[in-house]
Structure 1
Amino acid sequence: MAGQMAGQPIFILREGSQRTKGRDAQSNNIMAAKAVAEAVRTTLGPKGMDKMLVDSLGDVVITNDGATILKEMDIEHPAAKMIVEVSKTQDDEVGDGTTTAAVIAGELLKKAEELIEQDVHPTIIASGYRLASERAADILQTLSKKVTINDEAILLNIAGTAMTGKGAEATKDVLSRIAVSAIKSIVDTTDGKNKVEMDNINVEKKVGARIEESELITGMIIDKERVHSNMPKKVVNAKIALINIAIELKETEVDAEISITSPDQLQSFLDQEEKMIRSIVEKIVASGATVVFCQKGIDDMAQHFLSKSGIFAVRRVKKSDMQKLARATGGRLITNLDEITAEDLGKAQLVEEKKVGGDEMTFITGCENPKAVSILLRGGTEHVIDNIERALHDALRVVGVAIEDETLVAGGGSPEVELALRLYEYAATLSGREQLAVKAFSEALEIIPRTLAENAGLDPIDKLMELRAHHEKGSKTAGLNVYTGEIIDMWEAGVVEPLRVKTQAINAAAESAVMILRIDDIIASTRAPAGPSGADMMPNMPPGMGGMGME
């Protein structure tokens, strides 16, 4: 990019920078965003297929979850990254509907491109899209129904809908039941508002056994065994010390040298060490603790003394698990062993070590505060369990959101068809070119039912026409049964999801589409400075010197 001044070119951008302007910039961005949406489109719905992602280290992830796919794909293009963000936000907010959000965003941009070609200005499209998404939120509100924490059957349906198509169909019932029970047991109600804190659910995975054998444990599971085989395997009415520091002798801070000249001195030195460790263990015993969870290591000598005192001890427990233990048992994390008292201890009815899938695990049940629960997931192979875990995560989040918001809409493409019709009617009431954008928005939403039909091997156009006909006759919850190809009432069929899944997906999609549309100039600077790059200069460097910018 050079300006001309007195015959002298002036360079404003660094050499090698690329600049795309106007229409080119828009179509370039839209193309990239559409490509990303297309990548996840085939995973939508119960009949959606999975993706296999292999990263640079050769790790394999097999998943149907939009957010996971987009996160694992190494995406370069800046506009494409925005679509990834849409599904990431969706995942953070509600945990499900990630594919829906990305697909709608892609389709909104595709429709916008057609309008730009008809010379509708991007700002007009943007304001039309905004109007439409606000209107969509209002319409969705009218389609929603109430649910409470006691509607067990509906909550199970919500969990089931979230897991459908994610490789968990066969075991949907078992997992839905686990998800609903887990969420129900950790709900906090303050001022009549329900709050669900996902951190209170701990998911442990163990290969071996069938998925059906997964279970919910009201308490904590820690994937560790006791440190010494002489310790009891089972402690009833446990008093639990949660220790943050290593149970061993402290090293001296200063470099101290101990010179030992005779065997007696060595012996007395060792005796002294033993005495010090014994006194540490005695402090723990004196506090009344019968179980010790230590975040760091436990010295061999200390293990011996602990097992002599009949204490069940586990070492190197993850920090996050320590915090969950503190919450579940009502204990305090102890950082100074000199000051350990009976008040600091947590309580549990039972702490025991059990063998699960060939490994020993520690179960802490009957806790003071049952607001912490654990789910033990089983499955044939690593990949199966990982996939099930992702499906379960979505189900947990969605049930949590449903209990928090207490509002649901039907699934199966029915809200999208209804919205498309209502927005089409709304477009007719507008004068000005925004009308075209609102119309485009309404058509874009139909991508969801179309894709559901397509992924199930049905004719998308026929099915869409049938759906529209049903909705025009006033059946607002008519959706597509992808197994039979019939149009049925989704509400009765139990295909339901929280309202927030839909509003968030449409909102996020509209906002990111608007953001991408408003860009008319892309200025990309080159990575390396002009001239020889750091890598070219490397060979001539004296040994021991890093290359440019390399630490």
Structure 2
Amino acid sequence: MSLKVPKANNLQLFKEGYKHLQGLEDAVLRNIQAVNELSDLVRTSFGPNGRNKLIINHLGRLFVTSDAATIIREVEVVHPAAKLLVMASQAQESEMGDATNMVIILAGELLKKSENLLVMGLHPSEVIKGYQLACIKALAELESEFLSHHLQLFESLSTALKPAIASKQYGCEDMLSSLVAEAALAVMPKNPKNFNVDNVRVVKIMGGSLAGSKVVQGMVFGREPEGIIKKVSNAKVVVFTSALDVAQTETKGTVLLKSAEEMLNFTHGEEKHLEKIFKEIADSGVKVIIAGSSIGELALHYLNRFNIAVLKVLSKFELRRVARVVNATPLARMGAPTPEEAGYVD
């Protein structure tokens, strides 16, 4: 009779070098160790005096940053317990836009304390129950520690913004917090919970410095208008998503011209058609056209002729924002807008 050593089930499903852990000593404590390693990785980058990290991602790109959200996004985390912490940090970034590093450090510290309790002999369910009671107590204490509920006031909003800005732009937090508070109050709804962060944008202009930053009511574009009209005020606006040009077929065509007269009249019909369209637009009171695509030379000629300013915005996201700012409906067809479709600019 021969002895046979039993093998673990489903060995062929795992890669070479895998480990099988079970019980308190192996599985739980190893999970805590993995989370602590991730917490220690970003701990030194916390706060305004945090150190930068040199990161090379899987594509070979180089990053030098102290931002925990960027570090977590570019580092490949494989361990499932640490992956949960990465997901929690990403949720914090998506919901609040700040304190991603604090989430990881706090979770790491809580698990460090729980590790000592588990080694002493407490059951994991008892530790979890204790943390749940502590969470209820902490939330109750936070209600008495708030600075101000009046987010509609400039001073309260500026004070609340300073810690978040200081961690990214240390030394400039006073100036930047005032600018951000001013911009946020300009678009703040009656219920601050419905605040849309997309209503505040940052535009970088070459040749300036941080000290030259200011808040602009409206939108700023990094290019000039296409035509000769450079400045318009108190005007009706129309937004087109299509090209301002003569419609052309996708296939090539052949035209047979038998005389010089036919050659002269070849583009005459297109010119008349475009002139009619832009005359109707001008007669409707429109003084500004925002185009989401190309602008033909002939179209630009008639726009200058009818004293209509034209601005080209190639980004569809910027086009949506400017349509929302001027309260206009983006049109896919070229023609005079209805009163409901046109917008207005000061």
Question: TM-score with structure 2 length normalisation?
Answer: 0.86
Give 1:208's aligned residue: 207
Distance in 2 of aligned mates of 1:208 and 1:54: 31
1:43 to 1:246, Cα distance in 2 relative to 1, 3 A: same
CA distance in 2 between counterparts of 1:13 and 1:249 reads: 68
1:262 aligns with 258
Question: 2:10 and 2:263 mapped to 1: Cα distance?
Answer: 76
Please, which of 311, 316, 321 is the counterpart of residue 314 of structure 1?
A: 311
The residue that corresponds to 1:107 in the other structure is 109
Q: Alpha-carbon deviation of 1:266?
A: 4.2
Match of 1:25 in 2: 27
Match for residue 325 of structure 1? 322
2:241 maps to 1:244: yes
SS of match in other structure, 2:219: strand
Shift of 1:76: 3.0
Tell me the residue number matched to 1:365.
Answer: none
Give the SS at the match of 1:31: helix
3-state SS, counterpart of residue 143 of structure 2? helix
Q: Secondary structure at the match of 2:295?
A: coil
> CA separation in 2, counterparts of 1:103 and 1:283?
63
The CA deviation at 1:8 is 10
**How far apart, CA to CA, are the structure 2 residues paired with 1:155 and 1:256?**
60
Give the equivalent residue in structure 1 for 2:275: 278
- Give a deviation string over 1:176-199, Cα, whole Å, max 9, x none: 110111111111115xx6632112
Specify whether residues 57 and 232 from structure 1 end up closer, same or farther in structure 2 by C-alpha distance, changes over 3 A only: farther
Residues 100/281 of structure 1: CA separation in 2 closer, same or farther (3 Å cut): same
Distance change (3 Å), C-alpha of 1:7 and 1:93: closer
Give a deviation string over 1:456-490, Cα, whole Å, max 9, x none.
Answer: xxxxxxxxxxxxxxxxxxxxxxxxxxxxxxxxxxx
1:220 CA drift (Å): 0.8
Counterpart of 1:300 in structure 2 is 297
- Equivalent residue, structure 2, for 1:220: 219
Q: Residue 345 of structure 1 aligns to which amino acid in structure 2?
A: A
Unaligned ranges ≥5, structure 1: 1-5, 350-551
Distance 1:14 1:175, change over 3 A: same
- In 2: Cα distance, 1:307 partner to 1:13 partner: 76
Question: 8 Å contact 1:37–1:83 — kept in the other structure?
Answer: no
Contact 2:238 2:341 in 1 (8 A): yes
Q: Bigger CA drift: 17-26 or 293-302?
A: 17-26
In the aligned structure 2, how far is the partner of 1:124 from the partner of 1:153?
Answer: 44
**Aligned letter for 1:212?**
A
Closer, same or farther: CA 175–276 of 1 in aligned 2, 3 Å: same
* Structure-1 residue corresponding to 2:40: 38
> In the alignment, which residue of structure 2 is the partner of 1:352?
none
Matches of 1:263 and 1:340 in 2, distance apart?
Answer: 40
- Where in structure 2 are the equivalents of 1:321-360 lying within 5 Å? 321-338=318-335, 340-349=337-346
**What's the counterpart of residue 177 of structure 1?**
178
Structure 2 counterpart of 1:232, from 219, 225, 229: 229
In structure 2, relative to structure 1, the CA distance for the partners of 1:15 and 1:60 (3 Å cut) is closer
CA RMSD in angstroms, aligned pairs only:
2.8
Could you tell me which residue of structure 1 aligns to residue 72 of structure 2? Answer: 70
State the 1:16 CA deviation.
Answer: 3.1
TM-score (norm 1): 0.56
Matches of 2:314 and 2:51, distance apart in 1: 38
Which has the larger share of strand?
Answer: 1
Asked if structure 2 preserves the Cα contact closer than 8 Å seen for 1:283 and 1:340, the reply is no
- Whole-angstrom distance in 1 between the partners of 2:339 and 2:241: 16
- Aligned AA (1:174): M
Distance 2:207 2:83 in 1: 38
Q: For 2:266, what is the secondary structure of its paired residue?
A: helix
**Distance change (3 Å), C-alpha of 1:11 and 1:194:** closer
The answer (yes or no) to whether the contact 1:42–1:48 under 8 Å persists in 2 is yes
Deviations 1:23-43 (CA, angstroms, capped at 9, x unpaired): 333333222221221121112
- In the other structure, the counterpart of 1:514 is none
Cα distance in 1 for partners of 2:8, 2:30 equals 28
CA contact 1:293–1:317 (8 Å) conserved in 2: no
Pairing partner for 1:289 from 286, 291, 295: 286
Q: 8 Å contact 1:284–1:337 — kept in the other structure?
A: no
Q: 1:79: how far off? A: 2.4
Counterpart contact for 1:332–1:345, Cα < 8 Å:
yes
Deviation at 1:234, TM superposition (A): 1.0
| Partners of 1:140 and 1:300 in 2: CA distance | 63
Which blocks of at least 5 consecutive residues in structure 2 are unaligned?
A: none
What is the CA distance between 1:280 and its match in structure 2?
3.3
Distance 2:8 2:92 in 1: 46
CA contact (8 A) 1:187 1:196 kept: yes
Alignment of 1:108-123 (within 5 A): 108-123=110-125
Q: Is the 8 A contact 2:166 2:172 kept in 1?
A: no
Distance 1:44 1:31 in 2: 20
Tell me, yes or no, if the aligned pair for 1:67 and 1:84 is still in contact at 8 Å.
no
Matched residue type, 1:243: F
| Residue 19 of structure 1: how far off its partner (Å) | 5.0
Segment of structure 1 superposing worse, 65-74 or 81-90: 65-74
Q: Which moved more, 1:329-338 or 1:148-157?
A: 148-157
Q: How many residues align?
A: 338
Task: Give, in whole Å, the separation in 1 of the partners of 2:147 and 2:320.
Answer: 38
Deviation at 1:339, TM superposition (A): 5.3
